[in-house]
């Protein structure tokens, strides 16, 4: 496993913020996930929680059992360990998206800004395989890395009060899907009919950090058919296992 020069910082009185380099790529993602797994095993006696982000991992610990300096020392020791299994098994999820103009409400403006056609933006967005880096700010909101640089767009200067459930958006070098209706400032280019978070399922969010995702463009008729199956609880998201 590649080693990075990590930075360890206090985060309040009960947590440590561990930071990687500012890159958003699969190697940093794999590094962080494998490290997190070892921490959960080796620090089980006093670990309360871990919170990942693109380039960081926050460790919450029980201060009645260990001090900040002890956690830092242990975390550094864990990071320097030799890892027997460097594989990162993952699922590749195929997510249907309709880029119809009724859903892609920002496509016209985005195309003008880049002097591109809407079709070119859609092609670039749907031909890429993305990495699931972490889940937030809403339950089931997948933060996806790997967006082609040609379609990086700044967040909107004035966020919308309401973004529809299933809206597919772009903000900076990220793309993601709103799992429910929410305010938001991302540029909206389409909509997916599937559920990204369902409390009635054993795993409310089907994807995990380290998984990969590809958008599959569908027309409005296919979108409506999939939506009907989703509502009837008969739709199965296409996926394939890798690295097992």
Q: Evaluate the CA torsion angle 144, 208, 179, 228 in order and state its sign.
A: positive
57-82: per-residue pLDDT in tens? 999 999 999 999 999 999 999 998 87
User: Looking at the chain, which residues constitute the CATH 3.30.1360.40 domain(s)?
Assistant: 7-79
Quick check: pTM over 0.85?
Answer: yes
Q: Which CATH class is domain 90-242?
A: mainly beta
Q: 168 and 130 in contact (C-beta within 8 Å)?
A: no
Question: What is the per-residue DSSP string for 83-104?
Answer: PS-----EEEEEEEEB--TTT-
- Residues of each domain in the chain carrying CATH 2.40.100.10: 90-242
Give the pLDDT confidence of 77-86 residue by residue, as tens digits.
999 887 666 6
- CATH no. of 7-79: 3.30.1360.40
DSSP secondary structure string, 117-168? -HHHHHHHHHTPEEEEEEE-SSTT-EEEE---GGG-BPPPSS-EEEE-TTEE
With both helix axes pointing from N to C terminus, report the angle between 107-114 and 118-126 in degrees, rounded to the nearest 10.
Answer: 100
Separation between Cα atoms, residue 206 and residue 86, nearest integer Å: 23
Distance CA 86, CA 70 (A): 26
Per-residue pLDDT of the chain (244 residues; tens, 9 = 90+): 668 999 999 999 999 999 998 888 888 999 999 999 999 999 999 999 999 998 999 999 999 999 999 999 999 999 988 766 667 889 999 999 999 999 999 999 999 999 999 999 999 999 999 999 999 878 999 999 999 999 999 999 999 999 999 999 999 999 999 999 999 999 999 999 999 998 888 888 999 999 999 999 999 999 999 999 999 999 999 999 997 5
């Amino acid at each position: 496993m590649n080693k990075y020069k990590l930075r360890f910082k206090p985060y309040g009185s009960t947590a440590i913020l561990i930071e990687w380099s500012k890159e958003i790529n699969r190697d940093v993602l794999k590094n962080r996930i494998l490290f997190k797994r070892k921490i959960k095993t080796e620090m089980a006696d006093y670990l309360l929680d871990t919170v990942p982000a693109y380039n960081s991992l926050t460790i919450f610990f029980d201060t009645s059992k260990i001090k900040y300096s002890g956690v830092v020392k242990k975390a550094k020791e864990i990071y320097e360990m030799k890892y027997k299994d460097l594989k990162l098994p993952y699922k590749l999820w195929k997510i249907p998206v309709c880029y119809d103009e009724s859903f892609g409400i920002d496509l016209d403006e985005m195309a003008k800004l880049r002097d591109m056609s809407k079709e070119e933006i859609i092609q670039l967005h749907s031909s890429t395989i993305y990495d699931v880096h972490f889940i937030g700010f809403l339950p089931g909101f997948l933060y996806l890395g790997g967006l082609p640089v040609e379609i990086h767009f700044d967040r909107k200067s004035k966020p919308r009060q309401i973004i529809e459930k299933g809206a597919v958006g772009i903000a900076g070098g990220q793309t993601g899907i709103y799992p429910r209706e929410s305010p938001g400032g991302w540029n909206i280019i389409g909509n997916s009919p599937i559920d990204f978070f369902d409390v009635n399922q054993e795993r409310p969010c089907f994807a995990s950090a380290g998984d990969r995702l590809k958008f599959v463009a569908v027309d409005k008729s296919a979108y409506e058919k999939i939506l009907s199956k989703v509502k009837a609880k008969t739709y199965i998201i296409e996926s394939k296992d890798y690295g097992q």
